[in-house]
């Protein structure tokens, strides 16, 4: 192990300012970091960094690096490293049931974060708050797109896909996809033309004039995701979009979604009950506790991108899966043993 890396692992190197930039080869030599897609995590302090081309940008001032690493190339502004979304102490109750309590998390721009947890732990309630559909009883959105705001101000500012596709049966694929653009007052003709150009990317070429009842389950979900993307918001909330699909279709949809995400680089929060799916898709996995839901575990996923089907047999994937399963099982037992443990909030 090199002297700089030994010093780093011992915590002896002073942190630079957020936004410092260095080349990936230099990062590899100094810290032993591995390139793993758009995001990675320091093995010592778990600080997030962002990869753009061949540059690595610190997303936290807690990542120790020698001063010379920041050097004259450290011109990226600190604003570039700020979270797109930062939640602090979010709590929400319904009657006598506390669904979420003290939930805290920060999501970086372009990051893919998956959320898992036992049934009834408040995942959907959390999404409703972030989508602006529910106001928390306490806590706040510390930052969204660079400023603080009330949860209700997020309504219409994020793309939200619920568990069901909610396609309108009397509308064709094209006309379902353009609903967000119609709501915003866009020309219907221009919206339909744009949607038609996107059909091949979403695996729907030749199906633009079909109706929902003529589509398979996987195709319906692709239409719903296309509609969500066409809302053109930086933050996308996907609530178990593949949960109702068979295993083979779900696997294909996961790989397809990663390719669409790679191209468009939206920021995604993705709820799932499937641990394999959470690891395969995510840059990080947030494990929620039993109700009232809060973050029990934040697990960085340092697996390389692009991700192939063979990844699920990789020893590192298996190791991370074991960690997640142990955490979720512990919380699931709490839910099972808790009096009156029922509900879907």
Residues in the chain: 345
Identify the CA nearest to 200 among candidates 266, 241, 256: 256
CA 201/CA 181 separation, integer angstroms: 18
pLDDT tens-digit readout, 55-101: 344 433 333 333 333 333 232 333 345 788 999 999 999 888 889 99
The pLDDT of residue 300 is: 94
Identify the CA nearest to 151 among candidates 181, 172, 174, 125: 125
Strand order in the sheet with 267-271: 159-161, 235-239, 267-271, 112-116, 284-288, 295-300
- What single DSSP character describes residue 293? B
pLDDT tens-digit readout, 301-343: 989 988 988 899 999 999 999 999 999 998 888 766 665 555 5
Tokens 């009842």: give the residue: 213
pLDDT tens-digit readout, 142-176: 778 777 777 777 888 888 888 888 899 999 999 99
User: What is the phi/psi pair of residue 56, to 5°?
Assistant: -120, 125
Residue 5, pLDDT > 70, answer no
Identify the CA nearest to 235 among candidates 112, 136, 128, 133: 112
Residue 213, pLDDT > 80, answer yes
* 11 neighbors 33 (Cβ within 8 angstroms): no
The DSSP secondary structure of 106-171, one letter per residue, reads: EE-TT-EEEEE-STTSSHHHHHHHHTTSS--SEEEEEEETTEEE-GGGGTTTSEEE-SS----TTS
Identify the CA nearest to 315 among candidates 332, 300, 303, 331: 303
CB atoms closer than 10 angstroms to residue 303: 18
Identify the CA nearest to 58 among candidates 116, 13, 115: 13
Residue 23, pLDDT > 70, answer no
Q: 1 pLDDT band (50/70/90 cuts)? A: very low
User: Which domains are assigned to the chain?
Assistant: 3-81 (no CATH), 85-158+233-337 (3.40.50.300), 165-232 (no CATH)
Name the more confident of 13 and 338. 338
Helix (H, G, I), strand (E, B) or coil at 57: strand
The DSSP secondary structure of 300-335, one letter per residue, reads: E----SS--GGGGGSHHHHHHHHHHHHHHHHHHHHH
15 burial type by CB count under 10 A (0-12 exposed, 13-18 middle, 19+ buried): middle
The mean pLDDT of 291-303, rounded to a whole number, is 91
Give me the percent of the chain exceeding a pLDDT of 90. 34
């Amino acid at each position: 192990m090199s002297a700089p890396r030994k010093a780093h692992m011992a915590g002896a190197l002073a942190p630079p300012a957020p936004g410092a930039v260095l080349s990936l080869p230099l990062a590899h030599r100094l810290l032993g970091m591995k390139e793993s897609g758009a995001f990675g995590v320091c093995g010592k302090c778990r600080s997030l960094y962002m990869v753009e081309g061949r540059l690595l940008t610190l997303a936290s001032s807690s990542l120790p690096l020698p001063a010379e690493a920041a050097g004259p190339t450290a011109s990226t502004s600190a604003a570039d490293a700020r979270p797109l979304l930062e939640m602090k102490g979010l709590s929400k109750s319904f009657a006598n049931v506390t669904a979420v309590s003290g939930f805290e998390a920060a999501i970086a721009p372009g990051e893919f974060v998956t959320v898992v947890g036992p049934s009834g732990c408040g995942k959907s309630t959390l999404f409703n708050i972030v989508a602006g559909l529910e106001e928390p009883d306490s806590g706040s959105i510390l930052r969204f797109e660079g400023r603080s705001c009330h949860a209700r101000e997020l309504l219409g500012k994020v793309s939200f896909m619920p568990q069901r596709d909610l396609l309108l049966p009397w509308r064709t694929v094209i006309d379902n996809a353009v609903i967000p653009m119609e709501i915003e007052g866009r020309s219907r003709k221009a919206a339909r033309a744009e949607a038609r150009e996107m059909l091949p990317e979403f695996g729907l070429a030749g199906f633009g004039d079909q109706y929902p009842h003529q589509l398979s389950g996987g195709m319906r979900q692709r239409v719903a995701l296309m509609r969500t993307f066409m809302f053109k918001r930086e933050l996308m909330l996907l609530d178990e979009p593949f949960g109702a699909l068979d295993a083979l279709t779900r696997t294909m949809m996961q790989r397809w979604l990663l390719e669409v995400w790679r191209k468009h680089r939206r920021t995604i929060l993705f709820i799932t009950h499937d641990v394999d799916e959470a690891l395969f898709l995510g840059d990080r996995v947030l494990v929620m506790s039993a109700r009232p839901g809060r973050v029990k575990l934040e697990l960085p996923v340092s697996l390389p991108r692009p991700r192939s089907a063979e990844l699920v047999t990789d020893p590192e994937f298996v190791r991370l899966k074991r960690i997640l399963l142990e955490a979720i099982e512990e919380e699931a037992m709490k839910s099972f043993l808790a009096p009156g443990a029922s509900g879907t909030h």
